[in-house]
């Protein structure tokens, strides 16, 4: 969708869309944390309703009428995705394709005829609703978990710099930043798939008490994250600007330093995500909440100082700082787990010396 908005409209319109996603995604992500509980349909629907009301209230704070309309329509589109996940769990490939391809085609068609973001987003909502009622609701319901917690937290932290860009710099810089940042989910999807596949083996090794095996697998996961990070940076340095020019246009390709900085920040988040899977496999995922809050807070504090001084490059650096803090905290967390395999990891982390 960002490619369509960038090619057919302007960075300002892409920024309006990115702001809607940035405002709605964290609230909807928080509403999803209880979705794995069996028989909790009433809680899930209540969470969705409260999330929509909260997002609508935020949209009416310091935003123009056009911004409010864009935010509302983006939220509705995200809510349809939420309901599809709620109903069918981790959806089939056909459902994902229909929810991905048809809305993009509707966006391009509506934007080409009206040149108005509100009309284009309304077409996206209508198409997503058609897919939901005509395909998803006609398939057997699935109780499989729709999304892992590590992916949700990654999405939550990734949106933090967008708020400060929109407030301090405006919609045009936000559109450029969001378009370049949209490359991150490609590598993030590979990392999540790797983490999901290796988690059962890590959990089995941990339950068997194989300390050396657990340390070896943890090191391998961190090493694979570093390799993906290195590949991300090298790819951005070699072909990043050419890809940006072909996909988005010259206005986006003139940001090679921003692309490299975002690639490095994404690489740090890859390592953090893989280490998060290791901690979750040791049944300590719930104890990571203070560390995740710390990482989001560090990103926010860094954005306050860096965005105003260095612009978009500062926002990318702020994202990297938050990811690096999370990596450092997770390494200390793993160390505490090894010292007290069956105890409270967070308490052990506070008591254990750092060196």
Identify which of 111, 126, 7 has the alpha carbon closest to the alpha carbon of residue 73. Answer: 126
Contact 125, 78 (CB under 8 A): no
Would you state the pLDDT for residue 345?
A: 43
Residue 54 scores a pLDDT above 70? no
Of the listed ranges 20-24, 110-114, 147-151, the one predicted with least confidence = 147-151
| Structure-model confidence comparison of residues 265 and 185, the more confident one | 265
Residue 50 scores a pLDDT above 90? no
Residue 253: pLDDT band by 50, 70, 90 thresholds? confident
Residue 142 scores a pLDDT above 70? no
Structure tokens at 145: 């978990």
Would you state the pLDDT for residue 55?
A: 57
Residues sharing a CB contact under 8 Å with residue 104, sequence separation 6 or more, in sequence order: 1, 4
Residue 306 scores a pLDDT above 90? yes
Identify which of 180, 274, 178, 265 has the alpha carbon closest to the alpha carbon of residue 222. Answer: 274
Residue 269 scores a pLDDT above 60? yes
- How many CB atoms sit inside 10 A of residue 241's CB? 17
Mean pLDDT on 265-287: 83
Residue 331 scores a pLDDT above 90? no
Among 64-73, 231-240, 314-323, the range of highest mean pLDDT: 314-323
Residue 285 scores a pLDDT above 80? no
Would you state the pLDDT for residue 68?
A: 72
Would you state the pLDDT for residue 181?
A: 86
pLDDT tens-digit readout, 344-354: 444 444 444 44
Residue 76 scores a pLDDT above 50? yes
pLDDT tens-digit readout, 169-223: 988 899 999 888 887 767 777 888 888 888 888 888 888 888 888 888 888 888 8
Sort 92 into a burial class: Cβ within 10 Å, 0-12 / 13-18 / 19+: middle
Q: Left if phi > 0, otherwise alpha if psi is -120 to 50, otherwise beta: which for 307?
A: alpha
Residues sharing a CB contact under 8 Å with residue 3, sequence separation 6 or more, in sequence order: 179, 182, 247, 248
Q: Does the predicted model carry a pTM greater than 0.85?
A: no
Would you state the pLDDT for residue 355?
A: 41
Domain boundaries, the chain: 1-147, 148-355
Q: Where are the alpha helices (DSSP H) in 236-288?
A: 241-247, 250-253, 256-281
Owner of token pair 């058609």 = 130
Residue 145 scores a pLDDT above 80? no
Contact 79, 28 (CB under 8 A): yes
| R_g over Cα of the chain | 21
Q: How many residues belong to the chain?
A: 355
Torsions phi, psi for 234 (to 5 deg): -65, -45
Coil, strand or helix: which one is 1? coil
């Amino acid at each position: 969708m960002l490619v369509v908005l960038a090619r057919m409209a302007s960075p300002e319109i892409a920024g309006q869309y990115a702001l809607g996603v940035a405002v709605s995604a964290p609230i909807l992500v928080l509403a999803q944390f209880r979705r794995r509980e069996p028989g909790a349909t009433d809680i899930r629907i209540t969470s969705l309703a409260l999330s929509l009301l909260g997002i609508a209230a935020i949209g009416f704070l310091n935003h123009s009428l056009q911004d409010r309309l864009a935010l509302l329509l983006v939220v509705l589109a995200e809510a349809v995705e939420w309901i599809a996940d709620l109903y069918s769990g981790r959806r089939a490939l056909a459902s994902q394709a229909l929810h991905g391809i048809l809305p993009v085609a509707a966006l391009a068609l509506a934007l080409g005829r009206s040149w108005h973001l509100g009309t284009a987003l309304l077409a996206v909502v209508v198409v997503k609703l058609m897919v939901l009622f005509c395909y998803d609701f006609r398939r057997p319901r699935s109780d499989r978990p729709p999304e892992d917690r590590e992916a949700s937290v990654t999405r939550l932290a990734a949106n933090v710099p967008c708020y400060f860009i929109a407030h301090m710099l405006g919609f045009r810089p936000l559109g450029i930043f969001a378009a370049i940042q949209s490359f991150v989910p490609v590598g993030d999807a590979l990392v999540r798939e790797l983490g999901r596949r290796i988690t059962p083996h890590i959990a089995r090794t941990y339950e068997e008490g194989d300390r050396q095996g657990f340390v070896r697998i943890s090191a391998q996961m961190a090493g694979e994250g570093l390799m993906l990070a290195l590949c991300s940076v090298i790819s951005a340095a070699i072909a990043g600007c050419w890809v940006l020019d072909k996909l988005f246009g010259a206005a986006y390709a003139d940001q090679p330093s921003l692309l490299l900085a975002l690639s490095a920040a994404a690489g740090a988040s890859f390592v953090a995500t893989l280490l998060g899977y290791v901690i979750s496999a040791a049944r300590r995922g719930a104890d990571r909440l203070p560390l995740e809050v710390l990482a989001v807070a560090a990103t926010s504090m860094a954005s306050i100082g860096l965005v105003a001084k260095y612009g978009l490059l500062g926002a990318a650096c702020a994202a990297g700082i938050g990811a690096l803090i999370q990596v450092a905290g997770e390494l200390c967390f793993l160390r505490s787990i090894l010292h007290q395999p069956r105890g409270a990891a967070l308490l052990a982390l506070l008591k254990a010396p750092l060196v």
